[in-house]
Structure 1
Amino acid sequence: MDWAEMAPHLVAQAELFTPLYERALAWLAKEVTEPGLIVDLGSGPGVVSGLFAETFPGARVLAVDGSEPLLEQAGERAARLGYADRFGTLAGELPGALDELDYPADLLWAGRSLHHLGDQRAALTTFAQRLAPGGTLAIMEGGLPSRFLPRDIGIGRPGLEARLDALQEEWFAQMRADLPGSVEVTEDWPALLGSAGLKHTRSRSFLLDLPAPASDRARAYVTDSLGRLREVYADILDPEDRAVLDRLLDPADPAGVRRRSDVFVLAAHTVHTAVKPA
């Protein structure tokens, strides 16, 4: 993936999903009190890093990512929003980049980034090693596929998004298989956290519910998301589904996302946490 090219989509998604992230961080704040260092693993352009800076005003926040252009955007965002004096960036591939930490972290956050690492179990072990005693590791993995439209949208066969989900599952499995050092693992996240030597695991899912009629910002996100699926799966889409997507993406079509009244955004993301023994 060209993460720098995806930056506008990453920013738009994180900003739209801010209510979900805020609830997740408020939940974390009940367990993690007065952290000194928070590390955002796979931070991208730093939208969620900024939410950590807001939620924990006494903490230093470090954004870690393999894309320097995205980290530049994260730094610019910190300066624009007024927390640059306690914000830093670290460029490098995970988990090795954590060798550069000056001191252990009180909170490590991996928001939908762990699945981009070939050996997830080994990565969690490395993450745990970089925690201070009593520190918390929080990963956002799993949840439910997002939904934007009713099952029957009046054009094409009902169940378009379910069929797109199936294509995405196949793509995800192939993406995982192609990662350097890829290791298959059962995605029992609490058990994996426990195998990394962490204790007191807990999990909770957080909902984003933006009902119809969608805002212009939500419609733009839905349009971008469906457009990327149309592009990635162009060669394997059912011809009828491809034609339906073309209509949904057509700004002049009354059945398109920009004009129809039944567009919404509904998503659920799950956060798993565990604590390093003191």
Structure 2
Amino acid sequence: MTRHAHTPQPAHAHTHAHHGHGHGHDHGQGTDVDWDALAVHLEREAGAQAPAVTEAARWLGGLLDATPVRRVLDVGSGPGVIAGLLADAFPAAEVVAVDQSAALLERARTRSAGRVATLRADLPEDFGTLGGADLVWSGNAIHHLGDQQAALTALAATLRPGGVLAVAERGLPARYLPRDLGLGRPGLQARLDAAHEETFAAMRAAVPGTVAVVEDWPAMLAAAGLVPAGSRTFLVDHPAPLDTPVREFLHVQLTRRREQFAGLLDDADLAALDALLDRDAPTGILARPDAFYLAALTVHTARAA
């Protein structure tokens, strides 16, 4: 259950992150996503979101002020960047990265230098093996499971009394290009958003056992038997000029968009994407001085009685 890229297999669910989407998360139409090969991309995406996640973790700490936090689960952890941030925020707790990919969990162990434990789990089948927790974080992962309400109910069942479930899903669409970027028609980013929504809907429809639900996350958390504890949005803001890791993340992101949306964009937009992906051109995403990265991470929380 790895966040941030699409596969209809129920065992996987982000990064991210963020796809959704709004966070630049990838949702292809095929079933052959190589999650392990995407590890560096997932790490860069999570790194770009790290300041917002750190702020969110501080907020969660306030919500849990009266509850001893002994065990934290990051469900759909990928390579463990966010699990490491949770370990920083809750140094007295055992933080566990939960994912289906053994290779990504190995990266999580390596990068955390022993601060993060790992648990390989195929979800939804293995929800019952996660053990109890005082905080469960799931970022852009639930939407990869067919029955999202059942997934929230299963995660709610892992919470100890007073524990909090924090779900980050579908923030505002990321922005990283000017409206008129000097390549083709203005408004390319908006058309990419529209194509992304179409492929996201196709992804949800293709997930085995998919169940339609109004994605009102606070209401869904309440239906899982929890008491909603509030939602907050945290800004991800990397102004121009971008540093190299964020540029490289965007280059891979746009490369995947170019592959996924080839049948949804016209020739002019595809040509503009090709120019953005040119590693040697001054108009490319790796060089242009006006590239930025602005997104919003929305976290919905609820508490166990």
TM range (shorter): over 0.9
- The code of the aligned residue for 2:223 comes to S
Choose which of 40, 45, 69 in structure 1 pairs with 2:74: 40
Q: Partner of 2:97 in structure 1?
A: 63
- The code of the aligned residue for 2:87 comes to A
Cα distance, 1:60 vs structure 2: 0.1
Q: Partner of 1:272 in structure 2?
A: 300
Q: Does the 8 A contact of 2:71 with 2:95 survive in 1?
A: yes
- Identity rate, percent: 51
Cα distance, 1:88 vs structure 2: 1.7
Alpha-carbon distance in 2 for matches of 1:31, 1:272: 12
Q: Does the 8 A contact of 1:193 with 1:201 survive in 2?
A: no
Q: Does the 8 A contact of 1:44 with 1:71 survive in 2?
A: yes
Alpha-carbon distance in 1 for matches of 2:272, 2:248: 18
Matched, 1:2 2:37: no
Matched, 1:181 2:237: no
Q: Does the 8 A contact of 2:218 with 2:228 survive in 1?
A: no
Q: Partner of 2:291 in structure 1?
A: 263
Q: Does the 8 A contact of 2:52 with 2:234 survive in 1?
A: yes
SS of the counterpart of 2:36?
A: coil
Cα distance, 1:219 vs structure 2: 1.5
Q: Does the 8 A contact of 1:95 with 1:127 survive in 2?
A: no
Moved over 6 A (4+): none
Cα distance, 1:124 vs structure 2: 0.7
- The code of the aligned residue for 2:119 comes to L
Judged with a 3 Å threshold, the aligned counterparts in structure 2 of structure 1 residues 239 and 52 are, in CA distance, closer, same or farther, namely same
Q: Partner of 1:29 in structure 2?
A: 61
Alpha-carbon distance in 2 for matches of 1:219, 1:63: 27
Q: Partner of 1:213 in structure 2?
A: 241
Consecutive unaligned residues of structure 2, counting only runs of 5 or more, are 1-32
| 1:1-278 map, 5 Å | 1-33=33-65, 34-79=68-113, 84=114, 87-101=116-130, 103-277=131-305
Alpha-carbon distance in 2 for matches of 1:240, 1:123: 41
Larger-gyration structure (1/2): 1
Alpha-carbon distance in 2 for matches of 1:60, 1:242: 47
In terms of fraction of residues, the more strand-rich structure is 1
Q: Does the 8 A contact of 1:127 with 1:137 survive in 2?
A: yes
SS of the counterpart of 1:30?
A: helix
- The code of the aligned residue for 2:80 comes to G
- The code of the aligned residue for 1:68 comes to A
Alpha-carbon distance in 1 for matches of 2:104, 2:54: 22
Cα distance, 1:96 vs structure 2: 3.1
Alpha-carbon distance in 2 for matches of 1:61, 1:220: 29
Cα distance, 1:270 vs structure 2: 0.4
Alpha-carbon distance in 2 for matches of 1:259, 1:100: 47
Consecutive unaligned residues of structure 1, counting only runs of 5 or more, are none
Alpha-carbon distance in 1 for matches of 2:61, 2:96: 17
- The code of the aligned residue for 1:77 comes to R
Cα distance, 1:11 vs structure 2: 0.5
In terms of fraction of residues, the more helix-rich structure is 1
1:47-96: CA deviations, max 9, x gaps?
Answer: 000011111000001111111111111111122xxxx1x53211122233
Two-structure CA RMSD over aligned residues (Å): 1.2
SS of the counterpart of 2:37?
A: coil
> Normalised by the size of structure 1, how large is the TM-score?
0.94
Q: Does the 8 A contact of 2:44 with 2:246 survive in 1?
A: no
- The code of the aligned residue for 2:126 comes to A
Single out whichever of 138-147 and 225-234 deviates more from structure 2. Answer: 225-234
> Normalised by the size of structure 2, how large is the TM-score?
0.86
Q: Which has the higher contact order (CA 8 A, sep 6+)?
A: 2
1:12-52: CA deviations, max 9, x gaps?
Answer: 11112111111111111111234000011000000000011
